Amino acid sequence: MPIEWSLQLELFWRPALTGALLAATLALLGLYLRLRREYWAALAYGQIGAAGALGAMALGALPIFGGLAASFAVAGIKHRLEDRLPGAGVFPLLFVLGWSASLLLTANLPGVERLGQALFEGQLYFASPQALGGAAAALVALTAFLRWQGKRLLLASLNPEHFHARKLPAWPIRIGIDMLASAVLALAVTSLGVMGAFALVFIPAWRVFALAPSWRAARIAAPLAALFAYLLAFAAALFFDQPFGPVLALVLGLLALCTTSMGRKAGNDAENVSFQQNPPRL
Amino acid sequence: MTLLHVERAVTGWRRPAHRPVCFTIGRGEIVALIGPNGAGKSTLLNALTGNGARLFSGHIHLTPEARVGVQTQHQPPVAGLPLTGSELLALTEARPDGLPQGLSACLAQRLDALSGGQRQYLALWSILHSPADLLLLDEPGNHLDRTGLASLPAALRTRARQGVGIVLVSHDARFTQACADRAVEVEPLETDDAN
């Protein structure tokens, strides 16, 4: 392969493709985290993943494996923590702890500043073949999981009593979505940054919930919107030589503001039982 | 074939809520649990489904292979959720065949764009027409508009004729008379009884 092509692949196409795959995956994941009122999970898993990546780098291991390990560990104990600390505070608590650990590691360990900066700001130019493979695997795994359990996730959120009465197993929902969310976020923060990844989970799902005519349409629109925003932000950050994470968050925020005039007319909202006021009981 | 046998059952959350209740239900039967507000009808229904209420004494025997469908008094939380009527029915594998005409025309719309009565009827239909042997319905007539309420007894009867057993809780005597084969009174436990 000519050296210019090799450089272009390393510096441009591989990171762009990795980010594009992650953007679509995060937006799809965001729909289900919003359905479960767990979008704080995106910040918590992302920040814990960042701390794990920094810790791994300090120990001489591959950051991506450290991020995955830390994120998986937290997903594994999440339900136990929620039982002991009721009140929907577990994810904010994990976010705060992850943020604290990340900054302390960056401040005190030599050689991790650059990775620390990439994790907080997001970056454009570095994506290993493992990162690209991980992003592709994440999209495939999430799509396969939702094909298997997507309908049950909806049923468990809307009618948990019927879900229980049918004796449908709850463990694939409880464990599966947590493990997938933690893995995807841990992978995403290394290229998109913590806030960039959170913005991709939160904003497309939020606006699509308000505007999509059906769940099926929402599942198509959220990844497409995220992909569009990602590509726009990638080009803008490259062109204006700006840090990628903030540009991505800005683009997503502006796109969200552009959709405010597209508000759907709801029926009788006074009669509606608010989705947001009724957390799922599974 | 007996689907559910309840023998001198006393159920409740923290303490017993009602006097012993006995009934049996088989395929194609509709049994109404009646009684004053607070008598423990919904609590008994919760104990039947294993949704948290306790069985303090007596026995509840549910045929193990029976597929159970449950409708509670809670409306599905759909405001702000991009879910259509068709998608709601698909979640429980309920067929839309036989829906009142006004409602079948709304199936492609988001549930939060429908009226409260339409939404409740669709939510009830999603349970009523799910593949089930036994249906447990808690105040199925609540929140329905006049048309929905008028068509409900016929809808329940149709489902019973298909071999489904139905236990329903209702405080509406006229409604239960119109659709139930028999009624079982649930009486609240007096303080003296509890002691």
- Read off the pLDDT of residues A89-114 as tens digits, 9 standing for 90 and up: 888 999 999 999 999 999 898 778 88
Q: How far apart are CA A54 and CA A115, in angstroms?
A: 7
Residue A85: predicted pLDDT = 84
Point out the residue among B90, B115, B136 whose CB comes nearest to the CB of A267: B115
CB-based contact A192:A53 (threshold 8 Å): no
CATH assignment at residue A209: 1.10.3470.10
Assigned token pair, B21: 């209740």
| A243 occurs within a structural domain | yes
Helix (H, G, I), strand (E, B) or coil at B121: helix
Confidence of residue B78 (pLDDT cuts 50, 70, 90): confident
For chain B, the domains span 2-194
A262/B contact by beta carbon, under 8 A: no
Q: Is the Cβ pair B78, A159 closer than 8 Å?
A: no
* Structure confidence at residue A22 (pLDDT): 96
Residue type, A24: A
Cβ(A34)–Cβ(A206) below 8 Å:
yes
Flag if B110 and A210 touch (Cβ within 8 Å).
Answer: no
pLDDT at B104 over 80: yes
pLDDT given at position A210: 94
Mean pLDDT, chain A, whole residue set:
86
Q: How confident is the model at residue B7 (pLDDT cuts 50, 70, 90)?
A: very high
What type of residue is A228? F
Residue A8: predicted pLDDT: 65
pLDDT range class, residue A152, cuts 50, 70, 90: very high
* B70 reaches A (C-beta below 8 A): yes
Q: Is A130 domain-assigned?
A: yes
Output the pLDDT for position A272.
46
Query: What's the rounded mean pLDDT across residues B7-24?
Result: 92
Give the total number of structural domains in chain A: 1
Query: With 0-12 CB in 10 A as exposed, 13-18 as middle and 19+ as buried, what is A105?
Result: buried
Q: Are B66 and B133 in contact (CB under 8 A)?
A: yes
Each residue's pLDDT tens digit, A71-82: 889 888 888 888
Report the residue of A33, A37, A159 to disrupt the B interface, i.e. the one with the largest count of B CBs within 10 Å: A159
Lowest-pLDDT choice from A50-59, A238-247, B133-142, B184-193: B184-193
- What pLDDT is recorded for position A155? 93
Pull the structure tokens for residue A6.
Answer: 């090799």
pLDDT value at position A137? Answer: 95
Beta bridge partners of B10: B57
Judging by DSSP bridges, how do beta strands B134-138 and B165-169 pair with one another? Answer: parallel
The pLDDT score that the predictor gives to residue A279 is 44
Query: Can you give the pLDDT at residue A263?
Result: 63
- What is the pLDDT, as a whole number, of residue A81? 85
Cα gap B126→A180, rounded to integer Å: 30
In this predicted structure, what is the pLDDT of residue B114?
A: 92
User: Does A269 have pLDDT greater than 70?
Assistant: no
Sign of CA dihedral A54, A58, A62, A68: negative
Measure the CA–CA gap between B45 and B11, rounded to whole angstroms.
Answer: 9
Percent of the residues in chain A that have a pLDDT greater than 70, as a whole number: 89
Distance from the Cα of A36 to chain B's closest Cα (Å) equals: 11
Q: Which domain holds residue A133?
A: 3-259
Please indicate if any CB of chain B lies within 8 Å of the CB of A263: no
Residue with tokens 């509406």: B172
Identify all chain B residues contacting A272, using CB atoms and an 8 Å cutoff: 78-79, 112, 116, 119
**Mean pLDDT rounded to a whole number for chain B:** 89
Verify whether the Cβ–Cβ distance B77 to A269 is below 8 Å.
no
| C-alpha distance from B112 to closest chain A C-alpha (Å) | 6
Helix/strand/coil (H, E, C) string of chain A? Answer: CCHHHHHHHHHHHHHHHHHHHHHHHHHHHHHHHHHCCCCHHHHHHHHHHHHHHHHHHHCCCCHHHHHHHHHHHHHHHHHHHHHHCCCCCHHHHHHHHHHHHHHHHHHHCCCCHHHHHHHHHCCCCCCCHHHHHHHHHHHHHHHHHHHHHHHHHHHHHHCHHHHHHCCCCCHHHHHHHHHHHHHHHHHHHHHHCHHHHHHHHHHHHHHHHHHCCCHHHHHHHHHHHHHHHHHHHHHHHHHHCCCHHHHHHHHHHHHHHHHHHHCCCCCCCCCCCECCCCCCCC
What does the pLDDT average to over B137-144? 87
Residues B180 and B30: beta-carbon distance below 8 Å = yes
State the pLDDT at residue A281: 44
pLDDT at B61 over 90: yes
pLDDT in tens, A164-214: 888 888 888 888 898 999 999 999 988 888 999 999 999 999 999 999 999
- Taking 90 as the threshold, does the pLDDT of residue A13 lie above it? no
Which chain B residues touch A214 with a CB distance below 8 Å? 82-84, 87, 108, 110
Q: Which fold has domain B2-194?
A: Rossmann fold (3.40.50)
The CA distance from A206 to A171, in Å, is: 26
Q: Does B84 touch chain A (CB under 8 A)?
A: yes
- Give the residue from B46, B65, B81 with the most A CB atoms within 10 Å of its CB, the best one to mutate: B81
- State the pLDDT at residue B192: 55
At B149-191, the pLDDT tens digits run 888 899 999 999 999 999 999 888 888 888 899 999 999 887 5
Instruction: Identify the pLDDT of residue B103.
Output: 85
Mean pLDDT for the stretch of residues B92-111: 89
Q: Is A35 on the interface with B (CB under 8 A)?
A: yes
Q: Is A276 within a domain?
A: no
Residue A274 has pLDDT above 70, yes or no: no
The contacts of residue A179 (CB under 8 Å, 6+ apart) are A72, A75
What is the residue-wise DSSP string for B124-190? HHHHHTSS-SEEEEESTTTT--HHHHHHHHHHHHHHHHTT-EEEEE-S-HHHHHHH-SEEEE--BPP
Determine how many CB atoms are found less than 10 A away from the CB of residue B158: 13
Per-residue pLDDT at A126: 75
